[in-house]
Amino acid sequence: MSGTSTSAGKRVGIVGASGYTGTELLRLLAAHPDLDLVVATGDSKAGTRVADLYPSLAAAYPDLVYTAFDAVELDGLDLVFVALPHGISQTVIPEFRGRVGHIVDLGSDFRLHDPSLYPTWYGNEHPHPDLLGEFVYGLPELFRDQIVGAELIAATGCNAATAVFALTPLVDAGIVHPDGLVVDLITGVSGAGRPPKETTTFCTVDENATAYGLLTHRHTPEIEQAITERTGADVSVLFTPHLVPMNRGILATCYGQPTGGATTQEAIDVLRDFYADSPMMVVGEASPQTKATTGANTVHLTARVDPRTGLVMAIAALDNLMKGASGMAIQNANLALGLEETSGLPIVGVYP
């Protein structure tokens, strides 16, 4: 048994705890006042001590060992986080759905509501299209009411979340046209996951910046879906991510055509008003920095209206492993379980 809890909090498990998002979940759960870790699976590292793979977790989990996935081990848990690579959640979740109280999937397997989009953007048919309509899209600042008490939650992708946070308020307020939106985004290497890849080796990434997923990145329909569902507008987005040599962090610079004569201050005020009830959103005039969000479950935002080119620009920064993944998953779990939304989530970044 991989459990470490002796308190009376909500009993939770992590399926896929040995990757970067699973590791970040372990870090956050160690300090969460209401969630108690019971199971941490990691098939590729089964039998390995967590402290041996990640010494940073040794103080919190000196004896915790990764176990192989077994749905029986999850029986009766209040909530299970699924932190698996794309394509695996959709085969695993049906095995224990109904045997646990709630599921928060950090992967992309259940984010899109329309099953016809999966062959186009992911290359194959979805094996459980009937489940897509049962998952709530886990972006609390936009869909909080739907997440409260939800059984099945598909947490937002890190790239998609950053773009959606920046653009949704402006589309919702009618400041920018919903079609022809442009998102240029830079992201750190941890977004590609822990397993080594040719594109993420040190010699490839160091002193290098490259655009990828040109015109075909799978987060594109997710961005369009989220903004459309929140605003009711028919949204189209050109999304281009860029890999840069930093461990973690995302910065999205987004552009739209204005609908009228809004000023920079009005655009910033729109962001501030939209997120007035969201304590983890930091809106101001300063240009957002990825470093300011490191280790925190916050998003930093600003906006500009350029009278010379006539374009509206919105910028958002977040930590891809926190607000872009594991921190957001905890936030979703808090809402699903009826806990304080911000419980166990740091809002102060690590600096320098």
- Say whether 254 is catalytic: no
Strands 10-15 and 35-41: parallel
Rounded distance between C-alpha atoms, residue 327 and residue 323, angstroms: 5
Strands 237-243 and 281-283: unpaired
Rounded distance between C-alpha atoms, residue 68 and residue 70, angstroms: 6
Find all residues with CB under 8 Å of 10, minimum gap 6, and list them: 34, 35, 36, 78, 79, 337, 339
Per-residue H/E/C for 121-187? HHCCCCCCHHHHCCCEEECHHHHHHHHCCCCEEEECCHHHHHHHHHHHHHHHCCCECCCCEEEEEEE
Rounded distance between C-alpha atoms, residue 24 and residue 18, angstroms: 10
How many residues comprise the chain? Answer: 352
Nearest C-alpha neighbor of 225 from the set 87, 337, 120 = 120
Q: What sign for the dihedral angle of Cα 329, 330, 331, 336?
A: positive
Find all residues with CB under 8 Å of 256, minimum gap 6, and list them: 167, 170, 171, 175, 176, 177, 180, 181, 182, 311, 312, 314
Phi, psi dihedrals of residue 113, rounded to the nearest 5°: -80, -25
Residue 242 contacts residue 212 (beta carbons within 8 Å): yes
Question: Pick the catalytic residue: 12, 82, 158, 345?
Answer: 158
Residues annotated as catalytic (active site), given as ranges:
158
